[in-house]
């Protein structure tokens, strides 16, 4: 999955393990923009789709992996009085 995401525009990729439940893994990747995130699916090859299916089949719950998207929110600086 790392190679797929990095090739399709991710600037960072990682896998994290839940300390409370080591059987739970979370894949994360960072895209330069929301538009790049939306376009990544257009960049998938047929072999990418097969690999993604094989990875999803590893999910012991027997269901599709849960996917969530989060976006970075730039904090505004507070002007001092």
> Band of the pLDDT at 81, cuts 50, 70, 90?
low
At residue 45, the pLDDT reads: 95
Report how far apart, in Å, the C-alpha atoms of 51 and of each of 34, 36, 70, 75 are: 24, 21, 24, 38
If phi > 0 it is left, if psi is from -120 to 50 it is alpha, else beta; for residue 16 that is beta
Distance CA 42, CA 45 (A): 9
pLDDT in tens, 30-68: 999 999 999 988 999 999 999 988 888 887 776 667 788
Q: Specify the pLDDT at position 80.
A: 60
Q: What is the residue extent of each domain of the chain?
A: 2-57
Instruction: Tell me whether strands 25-31 and 10-17 are parallel, antiparallel or unpaired.
Output: antiparallel
This prediction has a pTM of 0.74
- Report whether pLDDT(12) > 80: yes
């Amino acid at each position: 999955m790392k190679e797929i995401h990095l090739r399709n525009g991710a600037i960072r990729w990682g896998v994290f393990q839940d300390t409370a439940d080591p059987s739970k893994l979370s894949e994360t990747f960072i895209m330069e923009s929301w538009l790049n995130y939306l376009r990544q699916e257009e960049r998938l090859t047929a072999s990418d789709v097969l690999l993604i299916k094989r990875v999803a089949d590893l999910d012991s719950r027997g269901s599709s992996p849960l996917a969530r998207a989060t976006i970075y929110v730039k904090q505004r600086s507070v002007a001092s009085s």
